[in-house]
Structure 1
Amino acid sequence: MSPDPDTVLAKVRALALAMPDSDERLSHGSPGFFITKGKFFAYFWHNHHDDGETIVIVKTTGSDEQAMLIEMDPDCYYSPPYMGPSGWVAMRLDRDDVDWDRVGDRIAISWELVAPRRLLEAGGR
């Protein structure tokens, strides 16, 4: 039995909103996390287009890093629809063995990739 999506969203929300100057709003009907007055750095999807999956989508440095993550752990990572071609990667969160430290690290890395210099210079995370 997979974990409750509301509980999973609460964990993702806590990790994303712990990042400096971050906020949440719906994006195409799903929670998205962004830097205030800036870009999105994470998205939460549950059963998007009836696929039955619960995932967080985060930014990578590009297609090379995305491919490396997928090759390293295809049970966790995959190229998500719509966003995969732009180098974003999905992390499966609908399993009992989710490594929440890894999820938190990937959310933080994604935040760093879109954060403006002023936030990074202020100490970032």
Structure 2
Amino acid sequence: MPHPIMYADDDPGLAELRRLCLGLPGAEEKISHGRPVFHTGRIFAGFGGSVKLRPGEHRRWPSMLIVKIDPAELPAVDADERFLFPAYWGAGGWRGLDLAAPQVDWTEVGELVDASYRLIAPRRLVAELDARTAPD
């Protein structure tokens, strides 16, 4: 049985996140477990999820960005109260950021997406991204 769709196209931050993610080389969007994820064969960003409060109890976070964090950066990210530990993803080094929060820093979101993409995407796609941004 497929998962029900758990988002709407007008959810806070989704249009902006789509623009950032789909602008990366080879990036595509698909629905996984009822929510949008962005991938290049492997997922590098997700939209929406939940946070485990205690055993058997979750809080849904419908406008959460979920990205892979470089292990060297995890202590700093975990010390920042804006970041969430997403259920199912968190133990693998993924963290969430609420895109519906007041005054989202879209430059920071772009940097998080870029860093996650670089950790996940194939080397040839990362090289293509680097070629796009290399100074002439």
Length-normalised TM-score, structure 2: 0.75
1:99-110 paired onto structure 2 within 5 Å: 99-110=105-116
**8 A Cα contact 1:5 1:46, kept in partner:** no
The alignment status of 1:18 with 2:23, answered yes or no, reads yes
Cα distance in structure 2, aligned partners of 1:20 and 1:83 = 24
RMSD after superposition: 2.2
Q: Which structure has the highest helix share of the two?
A: 1
Flag as ranges the 4+ runs of structure 1 deviating above 2 A.
4-7, 46-53, 64-67, 120-125
Q: How many residues align?
A: 117
CA 1:122 to 1:47, structure 2 compared with 1: closer, same or farther past 3 Å? closer
**8 A Cα contact 1:41 1:114, kept in partner:** yes
Letter in 2 for 1:61: D
Greater relative contact order: 1 or 2 (C-alpha under 8 angstroms, separation 6 or more)? 1
**2:70 paired residue among 61, 68, 82:** 61
Q: Which structure has the highest strand share of the two?
A: 2
The alignment status of 1:40 with 2:48, answered yes or no, reads no
Alpha-carbon displacement from aligned partner over 1:30-67 (angstroms, at most 9, x marks no partner)? 000001xx2100000067866255210000123x5223
Give the 3-state SS of the residue equivalent to 2:25 in structure 1: coil
**8 A Cα contact 2:11 2:63, kept in partner:** no
Give the 3-state SS of the residue equivalent to 2:39 in structure 1: strand
Cα distance in structure 2, aligned partners of 1:5 and 1:46 = 16
Length-normalised TM-score, structure 1: 0.82
Q: Which runs of 5+ in 2 are unaligned?
A: 1-8, 52-57
